[in-house]
Amino acid sequence: MARTQDVVELILQDHRRMEELFRRMRSVEADRAAALAEFADLLVAHALAEEAEVYPALKRYKNIDDEEVEHGEHEHDEGNQALLDLLRVEEVGSEEWDEKLEELVKAVTHHADEEERTILNGARENVAAERRAELGAAFLRERERQLKAGCGSVANLRRLVGS
């Protein structure tokens, strides 16, 4: 994977990695539990880093819709709840697991698609490359900090969704 600092490219790379992990979680040949564990950490670290470092900065740009940014935060909450629901299923690959996985895929795919079309396109068009690189470095630092803290744990997700 290219070592870019552009925050738009970094977020897109995470989205593609999440799609790959969805494929692994759906595959009976893959280690679905390991894919879910990696996905849980990535999703939570990605969202928290966006909310801490990227979204507040983008709200300062007049050509980036604040409502879209706030909507993105709301969709992070929905994704976290869907992830928590999947993590609570005891048997990987069971009918309930497959059902909760599809709910998670739907929530995250919807958010990623919307974010790419609105927020990220707006950032690419309105934010200078140098500033996108600064935001990318801040995003990576926060994302890494969250990953090291085991942010995808059930306990942390319960705290995030307030349940």
Q: 139-161, pLDDT tens digit by residue? A: 999 999 999 999 999 999 999 99
pTM above 0.95, yes or no: no
CB-based contact 2:9 (threshold 8 Å)? yes
DSSP annotation of 54: I
Q: Output the pLDDT for position 51.
A: 94
Q: 78-130, pLDDT tens digit by residue? A: 999 999 999 999 999 999 999 999 999 999 999 999 999 988 998 999 999 99
Measure CA of the first residue to CA of the last residue in the chain; give whole Å. Answer: 36
Residue 2 has pLDDT above 60, yes or no: no
- Alpha-carbon span 87 to 73, nearest angstrom: 21
User: What Rg do the C-alpha atoms of the chain give, in angstroms?
Assistant: 16
Structure tokens at 45: 């670290």
Share the mean pLDDT of the chain.
Answer: 93
Q: Output the pLDDT for position 73.
A: 87
CB-based contact 107:79 (threshold 8 Å)? yes
Residues 6+ apart with CB under 8 A from 8: 120, 123, 124, 132
